[in-house]
Chain A
Amino acid sequence: DAGVIQSPRHEVTEMGQEVTLRCKPISGHDYLFWYRQTMMRGLELLIYFNNNVPIDDSGMPEDRFSAKMPNASFSTLKIQPSEPRDSAVYFCASSRNRGSGNQPQHFGDGTRLSIL
């Protein structure tokens, strides 16, 4: 089975530009998570979806961040306008909840975002 697929792998853009990160979860997984990883703050959960519906977006830092999941096989994380402090590695992960407890999250390779 293909794993979680993220694109782009690297993104370098100037401050103020719109950035869109993309994620394709593992087929059959009904949970999708967006994380941000920095040296200072570690791995932070930004938002997660269940069956394409956002469940908890309390980790989204500001209104500049938005995430969508229009269908079970695709999600986007958008930053508009971007700022240098948004520079980080952004991970997408998916999991399957069988209702009997937590299932492991499978991560994509991440997008390294650099805002100049």
Chain B
Amino acid sequence: AQTVTQSQPEMSVQEAETVTLSCTYDTSESDYYLFWYKQPPSRQMILVIRQEAYKQQNATENRFSVNFQKAAKSFSLKISDSQLGDAAMYFCASPTYGGSQGNLIFGKGTKLSVKP
């Protein structure tokens, strides 16, 4: 079975510092997207950033960026200038086999705490 692994159940960062959340996946697709979702205490699932696998350039959205290593199937999320509002669960997601079907697998999540 395909899996998405987030090896850090919890992370902590000081406000204004940078933190990196790790994710590995094992899809066999050649053309796919990868996603990071944020779930604050309000429990909404909010799309943070996505990466197109055929693009070598790492995606960036304001303070959020990814380090995408396709050969290693690694897709880490970097949060720069961390803010208190960044405290949340973060989930990495990748497509399942036959990813064009639209289905995703989610990791178990990383709980990020931001210290003032």
Contact = CB atoms under 8 A, between A and B. Distances in A.
A56 B43 CA distance: 25
Contact of A109 (B43, B91, B109): B43
A97 B43 contact: no
A52 interface: no
A43 B91 CA distance: 9
Contacts of B106: 42-43
B103 to A, nearest CB: 6
Contact of B44 (A95, A104, A107): A107
B32 A102 contact: yes
Contacts of A110: 43-45
A100 B91 contact: no
A106 B20 CA distance: 24
B47 A102 contact: no
B10 interface: no
A66 interface: no
Interface in B85-116: 91, 93, 95, 99-109
Interface residues of A, number: 26
B33 A101 contact: yes
A104 B104 CA distance: 9
21 contacts: A31-B102, A33-B103, A42-B108, A42-B109, A43-B109, A45-B103, A45-B104, A45-B105, A48-B102, A50-B102, A55-B101, A97-B101, A99-B100, A101-B32, A103-B33, A105-B35, A107-B37, A107-B44, A107-B46, A109-B43, A110-B43
A42 B93 CA distance: 13
A102 B104 contact: yes
Given A43-B91, A89-B43, A91-B45, 19 more contacts: A42-B109, A45-B103, A50-B102, A56-B103, A97-B100, A97-B101, A99-B100, A100-B31, A102-B35, A104-B33, A104-B35, A104-B50, A105-B93, A106-B47, A107-B44, A107-B45, A107-B46, A109-B44, A112-B43
B52 interface: yes
B43 A95 contact: no
Nearest to A95: B102
Interface string A39-62: 000110100101000011000000
